[in-house]
């Protein structure tokens, strides 16, 4: 079972094109090669796959990878084949002939990595067949699925542990991106891991810019945000299928290349839309939570949550789709109190135990969204990790902090208008209705209640609806109002009475500090941007010819390094991160020629 970490480092360079390991990768690989059961908790994009892929190439025999999604298996097998690594999958998507072919390759010992779903593995014919093979390592990917305390529990994962007795000589490694201490304990006990080495990498993804905005005009907010990232890939998450379809349609009508993804589409339509996204034929995927787990696209530059996620685990996993290549990416959450009511409606359909757990998850999510401190503090705290420092310089609250101390407006008059309107409408409405009254709306809700007859009707036309929402949020933060978390209604506090009597002035910002693309420094090396676009175009043409997603040729990080260092020969190309020997042989000459032609060499 023993293997060499020196050999592992050579494989990392020769096959994968990496000069060094990421944090904890060397230790994890060493643990597996030493034959010790291992649990890995590492953030998405942290390099979990290499923790079993490299040992698979060092160890004798076969490495079996259990994965929950067919799309993820197929993606990883394709990437491994591009690197010259013999890998196959066994799952329900294969034809009978493909299944027989893969079984034959496995029988002859010609495969190093086998990917399979838990349902397939638990079938007697599959388990019986695999018992006859030399399986040196069993990797359980997305291991949080085994825990009832996890956000994506799958009962069939619980049955995997029964296979322990059938593969007594195999070392087991369980991997996940999201696991609280309780879930980690559950994984180890459920899989019967023997004295496991546990590696927990930091949950922080420093390259993700985290931002929350109060949802006021979501379509306009989405359009403003997306326009910051022309020709770059992103995902918009929505709460319902209907919202997904409406949003995708709206974006297409505005000239964006966007497609929907949700469980209501046919299997073929989902596969087709996903394929178009990963092949860069469309820029934006608009999706429910059904989309994402099977995506390994490294160059997603933005994630936008149109609606509030149900829990922090889901949110963390979804924003984890962005920036897997190590370049900075932007994650925006639009937060509206109506979302809370929608989620609570679904919670009410659960049993009492389920309601309690879901309510705790939702409360943590709301606390994150409402937080005025560094976003990373409540996010990492949820996973039992403390964030070092109090300013990450890469979230809205930390970026805003400096601006707010630099310039404050006197917003006392706006506060008095808003607070008066809250009182005159009966203290039972949320910010949206108050703003409609202040701006003289003729909506049915305003007219039916006679609120067009109030003295505060139409006195707030000097500010846009968006500005009033921004102001209302500040009034809540400064303790002038409290908000009922269940219904969203606003209630004035004792401090509000001081403001209304003119005894206390209010200071804040009239304009929302929107985060702009210059905050996202996603180009780590100085490079020739025109050459980078030339190389992107070449990569797309080669990928289309090979029927592959462009990132499987080379990731953006490799192209940026090429556009910076201008390699002129094969040796220099091998120094580019992500360029191994197989990739060099397949594609090196194309990129060297393009660089030479561009540079006039």
pLDDT digits (tens, 9 = 90+) for 499-521: 999 999 999 877 665 444 344 44
Q: Domains in the chain, ordered, with CATH?
A: 5-200 (3.40.50.300), 208-406 (3.40.50.300), 409-508 (1.10.10.10), 529-599 (1.10.150.80)
What span, in angstroms and rounded, lies between the C-alpha atoms of 370 and 374?
11
SS3 139: strand
Average pLDDT over residues 193-214: 91
Report yes or no: 579 and 545 within 8 Å, Cβ to Cβ. Answer: no
The pTM score is: 0.77
Question: Given this model, what pLDDT does residue 518 score?
Answer: 42
228 phi, psi to nearest 5 deg: -75, -15
Average pLDDT over residues 183-210: 90
Average pLDDT over residues 454-468: 91
Burial 301-320 (b: 16+ CB within 10 A, else e): bbbbbbbbbbbbbbbbbbbb
Residue 3 banded pLDDT, cuts 50, 70, 90: low
292 pLDDT more than 70:
no
Q: Is 321 exposed, middle or buried (0-12, 13-18, 19+ CB in 10 A)?
A: buried
Question: Given this model, what pLDDT does residue 521 score?
Answer: 44
389 pLDDT more than 80:
no
Question: Given this model, what pLDDT does residue 407 score?
Answer: 63
Report yes or no: 53 and 80 within 8 Å, Cβ to Cβ. Answer: yes
* Nearest by Cα to 221 from 507, 414, 466, 31: 466
401 pLDDT more than 60:
no
* Nearest by Cα to 182 from 382, 368, 46, 352: 382
What span, in angstroms and rounded, lies between the C-alpha atoms of 419 and 478?
13
Question: Given this model, what pLDDT does residue 486 score?
Answer: 60
18 phi, psi to nearest 5 deg: -110, 130
What span, in angstroms and rounded, lies between the C-alpha atoms of 71 and 142?
14
- At 535-562, the pLDDT tens digits run 999 999 999 999 999 999 999 999 999 9
In the structure encoding, which two tokens stand for residue 180, read together? 């609280």
Question: Given this model, what pLDDT does residue 325 score?
Answer: 87
Mean pLDDT for the chain overall: 88
Average pLDDT over residues 202-213: 91
Element (H, E) at 87: strand 87-90
- At 300-348, the pLDDT tens digits run 999 999 999 999 988 998 998 999 888 999 999 999 878 888 888 888 8
Residue 6 banded pLDDT, cuts 50, 70, 90: confident
Distance of CA 254 to the CA centre of its chain: 25
Average pLDDT over residues 16-30: 90
H-type alpha helices, 430-493: 431-438, 444-448, 465-477
- At 552-591, the pLDDT tens digits run 999 999 999 999 999 999 999 999 999 999 999 999 999 9
Question: Given this model, what pLDDT does residue 28 score?
Answer: 95
402 pLDDT more than 70:
no
* Nearest by Cα to 141 from 67, 43, 69: 67
- Our separate counts of H helices and E strands in the chain read 27, 17
Average pLDDT over residues 209-219: 92
Report yes or no: 316 and 378 within 8 Å, Cβ to Cβ. Answer: no
Report yes or no: 342 and 291 within 8 Å, Cβ to Cβ. Answer: no
Q: What is the DSSP letter of 576?
A: S
SS3 397: helix
Average pLDDT over residues 399-413: 70
* DSSP E strands, 290-436: 300-305, 329-335, 409-410
Q: Which residues pair with 395 in a beta bridge?
A: 210
26 pLDDT more than 80:
yes
What span, in angstroms and rounded, lies between the C-alpha atoms of 83 and 436?
59
Residue 29 banded pLDDT, cuts 50, 70, 90: very high
Average pLDDT over residues 405-409: 64
End-to-end alpha carbon distance in the chain: 50
SS3 233: strand
- At 96-143, the pLDDT tens digits run 999 999 999 999 999 999 999 998 888 898 999 999 999 999 999 988
515 phi, psi to nearest 5 deg: -85, 135
The better pLDDT of the pair 187, 522 is held by 187
Average pLDDT over residues 163-168: 87
- At 43-87, the pLDDT tens digits run 877 788 999 999 999 999 999 999 888 878 888 899 999 999 999
Residue 526 banded pLDDT, cuts 50, 70, 90: confident
593 pLDDT more than 60:
yes
Q: Are strands 409-410 and 507-508 parallel, antiparallel or unpaired?
A: antiparallel
Q: What separation in angstroms does the CA of 372 have from each of 303, 318, 397, 415, 502?
A: 21, 22, 6, 20, 26
Residues 6 or more apart from 124 whose CB is under 8 A from it?
none
- At 232-279, the pLDDT tens digits run 999 999 999 999 999 999 999 999 999 999 989 998 998 899 889 999
């Amino acid at each position: 079972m023993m293997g060499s970490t020196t050999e592992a480092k050579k494989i990392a360079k020769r096959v994968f094109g990496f000069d060094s390991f990421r944090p904890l990768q060397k230790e994890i690989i060493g643990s597996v090669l030493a034959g010790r059961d291992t649990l890995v908790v590492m953030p998405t994009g942290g390099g979990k796959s290499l923790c079993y892929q490299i040992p698979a190439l060092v160890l004798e025999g076969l490495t079996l990878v259990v994965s929950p999604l067919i799309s993820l298996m197929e993606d990883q097998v394709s990437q491994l084949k591009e690197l010259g690594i013999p890998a196959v999958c066994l799952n329900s998507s294969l034809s009978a002939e493909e299944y027989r072919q893969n079984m034959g390759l496995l029988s002859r010992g010609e495969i190093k990595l086998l990917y399979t779903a838990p349902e397939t593995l638990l079938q007697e014919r599959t388990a019986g067949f695999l018992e006859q093979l030399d399986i040196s390592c069993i990797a359980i990917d997305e291991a949080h699925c085994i825990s009832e305390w996890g956000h994506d529990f799958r009962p069939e994962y619980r049955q995997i542990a029964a296979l322990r007795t059938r593969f007594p000589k195999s070392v087991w490694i369980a991997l996940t991106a999201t696991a609280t201490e309780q879930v980690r304990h559950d994984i180890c006990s459920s899989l019967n891991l023997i004295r496991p080495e546990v590696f927990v990498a930091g949950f922080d993804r420093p390259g993700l810019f985290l931002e929350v905005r109060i949802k006021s005009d979501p379509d306009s907010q989405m359009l403003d945000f997306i326009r910051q990232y022309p020709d770059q890939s992103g995902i918009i998450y929505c709460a319902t299928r209907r919202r997904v379809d409406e949003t995708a349609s709206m974006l297409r009508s505005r000239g964006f290349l966007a497609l929907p993804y949700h469980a209501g589409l046919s299997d073929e339509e989902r596969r087709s839309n996903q394929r178009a996204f990963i092949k860069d034929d469309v820029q934006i995927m608009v999706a429910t939570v059904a989309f994402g787990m099977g995506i390994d696209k490294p160059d997603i530059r933005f994630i936008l949550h149109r609606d509030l996620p149900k829990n922090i685990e889901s949110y963390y996993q979804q924003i984890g789709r962005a920036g897997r290549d190590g370049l900075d990416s932007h994650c925006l959450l639009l937060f509206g109190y109506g979302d809370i009511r929608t989620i609570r409606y679904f919670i009410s359909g659960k049993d009492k135990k389920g309601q309690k757990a879901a309510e705790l998850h939702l409360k943590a999510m709301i606390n994150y969204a409402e937080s005025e401190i560094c976003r990373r503090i409540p996010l990492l705290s949820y996973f039992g990790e403390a964030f070092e420092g109090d300013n990450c310089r890469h979230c809205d609250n930390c970026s805003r902090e400096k601006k707010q101390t630099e310039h404050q407006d006197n917003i006392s008059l706006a506060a008095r208008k808003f607070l008066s309107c809250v009182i005159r409408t009966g203290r039972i409405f949320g910010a949206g209705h108050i703003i409609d009254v202040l701006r003289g709306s003729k909506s049915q809700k305003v007219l039916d209640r006679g609120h067009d007859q109030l003295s505060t009707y139409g006195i707030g036309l000097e500010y846009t609806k968006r500005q009033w929402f921004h102001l209302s949020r500040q009034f809540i933060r400064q303790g002038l109002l409290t908000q009922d978390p269940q219904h969203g209604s606003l209630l004035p506090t004792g401090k509000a009475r001081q403001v209304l009597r003119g005894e206390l002035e209010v200071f804040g910002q009239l304009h929302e500090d929107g985060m702009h693309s210059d905050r996202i420094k996603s180009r780590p090396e100085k490079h020739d941007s025109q050459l980078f676009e030339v190389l992107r175009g070449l990569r797309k043409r080669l990928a289309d010819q090979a029927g592959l997603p462009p990132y499987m040729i080379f990731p953006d990080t490799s192209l940026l390094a090429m556009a910076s260092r201008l390699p002129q020969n094969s040796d220099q190309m091998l120094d580019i991160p992500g360029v191994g020997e197989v990739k060099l042989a397949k594609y090196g000459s194309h990129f060297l020629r393009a660089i030479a032609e561009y540079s006039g060499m």
